Structure 1
């Protein structure tokens, strides 16, 4: 059940690997959380903390970015956008308790208030999503101020909606008869298919940004100047120190892999740990698809398996290029 509605039932949709995705789905993003940053120093403060260029982010744009520690290891990957009188900072709920205090650590020296939002987070997905956004909210651009919140275009078939509880309940009630209701696993599937990285509690402080392809999804600015972890990120680009990348893999499994699980690779007649599961989705027919961090110099025909299982997994093509990784 949804954490904010006692009436509507948001549950995992039974999809096989061959099924088309719903033309319209309303997704309860209960596994995600929103941070808000408000105050006259919000832009300058965040600019010195994260990999993306906050200063150039216009009101009708959103961007992916990362918040790293001093060694360049990621605490979180987020989507940033203008929200009400400040910024909205969308990230996984599982790392909120550890990452939020780190983001706030130096805020006492700036005029900025950083808090977790009580907004309800919904996703609207499918080929009819744009049509519904136009009908319900109107406006222009990829980020739109709406009653009591914001609508953010994520890709051609996805919108994020961050609104107050009353507006979320009204919208869900209105769309319940025309949209499939889903839990956040449908959003996971879209992210995996589009190779959009994330950091959960099990993978916090494990990867540098380029090891999850952030340079390929415009989540790193190499022109903005200093921020926490910037030296490591710059060395990864200009000195080629990064030896990992994120890939899409697919295979059979009885249970959905979890973030942090090991993916083994074949080495001769033996198996060794090859990478770490970042996110995964299991279809109803025992097929699964996942994002995994792997060495970036493996042969294209490398074979993989989940630790403790026999079924073979294989890499799928990425929807973007990693050629600029070095």
Structure 2
């Protein structure tokens, strides 16, 4: 598919003005679909969010956990083509799909990884362009060939069949950019990105899911609920996800190790869940840290100890009320 070669890195600094309309192919992301008479009830018993209350015009964050409340995946859930879709990093799907299908044999539901093409729409004119694809006005809209889902004020996800995706890319008057830019915006919005390496490492609250509306404390039972409830009502969670920023002399490997200052010494702090490096070396990332850490605690890259990093303010409150 030659059209895939059109998505090139956009060299820029954090302060630069970006194109008004950008398209990217979200190749490292995937979608799991659930279709069938029991899809709603089955999913309701598997995930942290309230599937029953999800309006067809809205999406919600949610988590799928193991029996100990540790996260297999964090996803964005929405109605899609007579069923439901979970949008999540592709690397997490293999294990998560096997887990969520474990008891499906007892229900009328088909669960599988979709072969849809995923496109990201970004920029000031994203809304305007999406309006040309659908007469609907919700945050989740059925469009030709699939579904459009609002991510934030200037971003949309498109889940499409291949023919429609190719036609849109070829006809859109948009700048085609590499999907790393999508990651930049996820980091700046502090949206958790659970890749395969992070699976079953954290409970949902350690990934700020309560602050993103991804946990219902009023719905019925689901896998891992006991741990998630204890974290809220007994205060057992001691970690949270933070945005961090610093300088990287060169491109970083995935899951680069961070260290934090402890007096005059340095101690392992955690690995970057995701990161984005601007063309001047400024780099931002997401990392899970102790939630009682002072906001001015110095951080550094384990392999670049001369580069001091800092915790940045979150764009939302960590309160779960």
> TM-score normalized by structure 1?
0.95
CA contact (8 A) 1:127 1:157 kept: yes
Deviations 1:215-242 (A, max 9, x none): 0000000000210110000000000000
Per the TM alignment, residue 99 of structure 1 is displaced from its structure 2 partner at its CA by: 1.2
CA contact (8 A) 2:57 2:139 kept: yes
Q: Does 2:286 align with 1:260?
A: no
- Specify the alignment match of 1:302 in structure 2: 297
Per the TM alignment, residue 259 of structure 1 is displaced from its structure 2 partner at its CA by: 4.8
Q: Tell me, what secondary structure is at the counterpart of 2:272?
A: strand
Q: Does 2:184 align with 1:161?
A: no
Q: 2:104 aligns with which of 88, 102, 107?
A: 107
Q: CA RMSD in A?
A: 1.3
- Specify the alignment match of 1:320 in structure 2: 316
- Please, which runs of 5 or more residues in structure 1 have no aligned partner? none
Q: 1:229 aligns with which of 212, 224, 232?
A: 224
Q: Does 2:317 align with 1:311?
A: no
Q: Tell me, what secondary structure is at the counterpart of 1:321?
A: coil
Q: 1:274 aligns with which of 227, 246, 269?
A: 269
Per the TM alignment, residue 160 of structure 1 is displaced from its structure 2 partner at its CA by: 0.4
Q: How many residues align?
A: 320
- Specify the alignment match of 1:116 in structure 2: 113
Range 136-145 or range 230-239, more displaced: 136-145
CA contact (8 A) 1:63 1:79 kept: yes
Per the TM alignment, residue 141 of structure 1 is displaced from its structure 2 partner at its CA by: 0.4
CA contact (8 A) 1:256 1:281 kept: no
Deviations 1:53-100 (A, max 9, x none): 000011101011000000111011001111011111111011111111
In structure 2, what is the Cα distance between the partners aligned to 1:82 and 1:34? 12
In structure 1, what is the Cα distance between the partners aligned to 2:72 and 2:164? 31
Per the TM alignment, residue 256 of structure 1 is displaced from its structure 2 partner at its CA by: 4.1
- Specify the alignment match of 2:87 in structure 1: 90
Q: 1:220 aligns with which of 215, 220, 224?
A: 215
- Please, which runs of 5 or more residues in structure 2 have no aligned partner? none
In structure 1, what is the Cα distance between the partners aligned to 2:3 and 2:18? 26
> TM-score normalized by structure 2?
0.97
CA contact (8 A) 2:207 2:240 kept: yes
In structure 2, what is the Cα distance between the partners aligned to 1:250 and 1:108? 46
- Specify the alignment match of 2:200 in structure 1: 205
Q: Does 2:71 align with 1:71?
A: no
In structure 1, what is the Cα distance between the partners aligned to 2:262 and 2:5? 49
In structure 2, what is the Cα distance between the partners aligned to 1:11 and 1:100? 31
